[in-house]
A and B are shown apart, each in its own frame.
Chain A
Amino acid sequence: MELILDRVTKQYSSKIAVDRISASLQPGVIGLLGANGAGKTTLMRMICGILKPSSGSISFEGMDASDEMYRDALGYLPQDFGYYPNFTGMDFLMYMAALKGIDKKSAKNKCRELLKTVNLEDAANKKIKTYSGGMKQRLGIAQAVLNDPKILILDEPTAGLDPKERVRFRNLIAELGKDAIVILSTHIVSDIEHIADRVLMMKDGNIIFDGSSADIHEDLEELYLKEFGGMDNE
């Protein structure tokens, strides 16, 4: 099981957002660090198959990122997402399950199970508009893992979570990383320093650091500050 990025490039009219990135990603938690504007989100969107690379390719087990079966193996939590008005948490998950092609019966069980996992059981039938930011984020995480994805893309997943939720979330991610390729993008070093098996650091569309958890143990924060020090760190 391997996700292969081969010279992936995304060029917009004026600038190159992602510049010939190549990597081979195995199951485990992969932290993608970088300041805002480093190209993380663009890269993540290309891995999700919703943004087409200007050149290069992304494939998983022989499937290109634009294939239906590739998306079938994918779970995605965007940086920001909305919901249709009047959706309850349960409606939202059921809708996503249907779009992921999960049949109704197993979807219902799966949704209940996941709402429990993310601790939203009691709010399942409440309207999403009554949810707090953290609750909505947890709901987003639940929809991302609905289809037991082999590739899980999480873009700034801890945004809006309180410290307690962050800890619980980290444990959940570490668990998922046991048998899926989890790519977690963040600009907060502490989000990933204990759970990432591998860290990629991005700057100006390039990967400037690629190391395993063993190499990064001590100097990650330092390296990050060195690279991004003085830049927007929130």
Chain B
Amino acid sequence: MDLKEQYEKLLRYCYMLTKDIDLAEDIVQETYLRFWQSHTYKDTNKELAYLYTIARNLCMDEFRKPKLEDIDACDELAGEHRYEPEARVDRLVIEEALEKLPQDLKELIVLRFTNEMNVTDIAKVIGISRFAVHRRLKEGLTLLRKNIGGEAND
């Protein structure tokens, strides 16, 4: 995977966590710089879990800062202008459904299906067993389907 592709995925993940596009971008760049202090460029594919762990910790640090208490208020808006113009309605549907999931399930789902990370790496990043990842992914997908289905019936 080249840097561009990986960067984009990491950015989507951080955006999902922080809901602030500029902040997410700061975090992604900071993540890479920290990663490269101890690794080379070539290592990023091998050490993907480590890369995501750094990013995740940086995002969590942001949550602890008081100034971001009202992030939900500016939900989506901040990043809207950078959404690709061809964004389809489908996507808004899936994102709305995702937002209704508990944070931990949402994170797992995004890592697995949006960022297409393997289960072993996800387990390392989140710090749970691979078995737990599988179980929770299943749970998340069921909930997600319910969320989407529910909307369709409205």
**Alpha-carbon distance between A106 and B4 when the two chains are bound, in angstroms:** 10
**Contacting residues of chain A (89-120) with chain B, CB-CB under 8 angstroms:** 103, 105-106
Q: Which residues of A contact B2 (CB under 8 A)?
A: 103, 105-106
How far does the alpha carbon of A106 sit from the alpha carbon of B7 in the complex, in Å?
A: 15
Give Cα A106–Cα B3 distance, bound, in whole angstroms: 11
Residues of B within 8 A of A105 (CB): 2
Chain B contact residues (Cβ within 8 angstroms of A): what range? under 10
Tell me the smallest distance from the CB of B42 to a CB of chain A, in Å.
12
CB neighbours (8 Å) of A103 from chain B are: 2
A113 vs chain B, min Cβ distance (A):
15
Residue of B nearest to A105 (CB): B2
Minimum distance in angstroms from A147 CB to a CB of chain B: 16
Task: Give per-residue flags for B69-83: 1 if the beta carbon is below 8 A from chain A beta carbons, else 0.
Answer: 000000000000000
Q: How far is the CB of B50 from chain A (nearest CB, A)?
A: 22
A-contacting residues, B1-19, CB 8 Å: 2, 4
B10-50 interface mask toward A, CB cutoff 8 Å, 1 = contact, 0 = none?
Answer: 00000000000000000000000000000000000000000
- Provide the bound-state CA to CA distance between A105 and B2, in Å: 9
CA distance in complex: A79, B2 (Å): 36
Binary per-residue interface labels of chain A (64-108) against chain B in the complex, 1 for a CB within 8 Å, 0 otherwise: 000000000000000000000000000000000000000101100
Q: Which residue of chain A lies nearest to B5 when distances are taken between CB atoms in the complex?
A: A105
Q: 1/0 per residue B93-132: CB within 8 Å of A?
A: 0000000000000000000000000000000000000000
- The distance in angstroms between the C-alpha atoms of A103 and B2, with both chains bound, is 9
The residue in chain B whose Cβ has the minimal distance to the Cβ of A104 is B2
A106 to chain B, nearest CB (A): 7
Complex interface bits, B50-69 against A, C-beta within 8 A gives 1, otherwise 0: 00000000000000000000
Compute how far the CA of A105 lies from the CA of B4 in the bound complex, rounded to whole angstroms. Answer: 11
Residue of A nearest to B3 (CB): A103
Chain B residues with CB under 8 Å of A106's CB are 2, 4
CB proximity of A103 to chain B, nearest CB, Å? 7
Neighbouring A residues of B4 by C-beta, 8 Å? 106
Query: Closest CB of chain A to B94's CB: distance in Å?
Result: 28
Q: How far is the CA of A103 from the CA of B4 in the complex (A)?
A: 11
Alpha-carbon gap, A167 to B96, bound state (A): 52
How distant is B18 from chain A, measured CB to nearest CB, in Å? 28
Q: How far is the CB of B97 from chain A (nearest CB, A)?
A: 33
Q: How far does the alpha carbon of A103 sit from the alpha carbon of B5 in the complex, in Å?
A: 13
Produce 1/0 per residue, A115-142, CB < 8 A to B. Answer: 0000000000000000000000000000
For residues 134 through 154 of chain B, which have their beta carbon under 8 Å from a beta carbon of chain A? none
Rounded to whole angstroms, the CA-CA distance of A31 and B4 in the bound complex is 36
Alpha-carbon separation in the docked complex, A226 to B2 (Å) = 56
| Closest chain B CB from A164 CB (angstroms) | 35
Within 8 A of B (CB), among A211-234: none
- Nearest Cβ on chain A to B68's Cβ, whole angstroms: 35
Q: How far is the CA of A105 from the CA of B5 in the complex (A)?
A: 12
Report the minimal beta-carbon distance from B133 to chain A, rounded to whole angstroms: 31
CB distance from B58 to the nearest CB of A (A): 27
CA distance A103 to B3 in the complex (A): 10
Name the residue of chain B whose CB is nearest to the CB of A103: B2
Residues of B that sit less than 8 Å from A by CB: 2, 4
In the complex, 4 of the A-B residue pairs with CB atoms within 8 angstroms, ordered by the A residue number, are A103-B2, A105-B2, A106-B2, A106-B4
Of all A-B residue pairs in the complex, the 3 with the closest CB atoms, nearest first, are A105-B2, A103-B2, A106-B4
